[in-house]
Amino acid sequence: MRPFGYTRAADVGTAITAVREHPGGAFLAGGTTEVDLVRQNVLRPDLLVDINDLPLDRVEDLPGGGLRIGALARMSDVAQADGVVGRFPLVSQALLLGASAQLRNMASMGGNLCQRVRCGYFRDAVSPCNKREPGSGCAALTGFHRGHAVLGTSDRCIAAYPSDVAVALTAVDAVVRTRGPDGERNIPIDDFFLLPGDTPHRERPLEHGELITAIEVPAVPVARRSVYLKVRDRASYEFALVSVAAAVDVRDGAVADVRLALGGVATKPWRARAAERSLLGGPAAPAAFDEAAARELAAAEPRPQNAFKVELARRTIVRALTALTNGEDR
């Protein structure tokens, strides 16, 4: 057992200062994965700063139809919020599919975005892992990698990013609001998650002591008709092999607007921009959906055990878009 300090912060400024003053300081919210990683000796904080008393748990409407979701809002509360269910059903569905009821009641929205990868080599604390120990190597490259990524990988890391709701939020261009020693920042969610490249240990562009305060979702009318489709090994609590966050607007038989993001297949929530470009203005038909999916997945770099994900992702994209457009001609 490694000893570490613990303190509760009463305000945002105190929390930031406390973490900044300790090289191994870290914020503690729901702790649903962080505590596990501390126990496994993967994370080694010298101080945990409990931020659960901070007033960052509200879900509020923004002018024009957007939402502001506090970083400490619990997943279960956000999933049931009227503005989320009515205007962003893909976000509500992703939250409900993302964890068991017990975890959703405790896990925070900000913490969910910051959860670490589920790669067994990262979590065993002894295998070579460039995320845990930069320069040590990646055991998954030649080891067991069935659940790993086929998009956005590098020769340093192929771990798939695990969050479900981050995929849905990426599809609707959410913005992550933070506060740190240098003030406040607004980070587009697609920039909030970094590709592994040569620095897989750096997963987000946050400075030490920079705290997520909220997630803002702009008004996205197309999201009112949306879905989060998750394919997994079992129907109970399980991480995605492939997931698709999709929203589409069809007018006169053509795709007028579309949003697509993929989970389970990439090292970050993957905005499927090539597929979106292929679909816009084209027919809302399964053949067009299939062609768009193929264009998006042309960049995939599968390995022997996860090559099935390419075909599975293609079919899941087609299934999600077909479900949304079946019988629709608005």
Q: Quick one: average pLDDT of 311-325? A: 98
- Per-residue model confidence as pLDDT tens digits over 200-232: 999 999 999 999 999 999 999 999 999 999 999
Is 330's pLDDT higher than 60?
no
pLDDT for residue 310: 98
At the topology level, CATH places domain 226-325 in: Enolase-like; domain 1 (3.30.390)
CB atoms closer than 10 angstroms to residue 24: 14
pLDDT for residue 147: 97
pLDDT for residue 235: 85
Model confidence at 328, pLDDT cuts 50, 70, 90, reads low
Domain coordinates in residue numbering, the chain: 1-54, 226-325
Does domain 1-54 fall into CATH 3.40.50.10490? no
The answer to whether 167 and 193 are in contact (CB under 8 A) is no
Closest CA to 90 of 206, 192, 187, 173: 173
- Residues ≥6 apart with Cβ < 8 Å to 31: 106, 111
Q: pTM for the whole thing?
A: 0.96
Q: Quick one: average pLDDT of 119-146? A: 97
pLDDT for residue 43: 94
CB atoms closer than 10 angstroms to residue 295: 16
The C-alpha atoms of residue 108 and residue 70 are separated, in whole angstroms, by 9
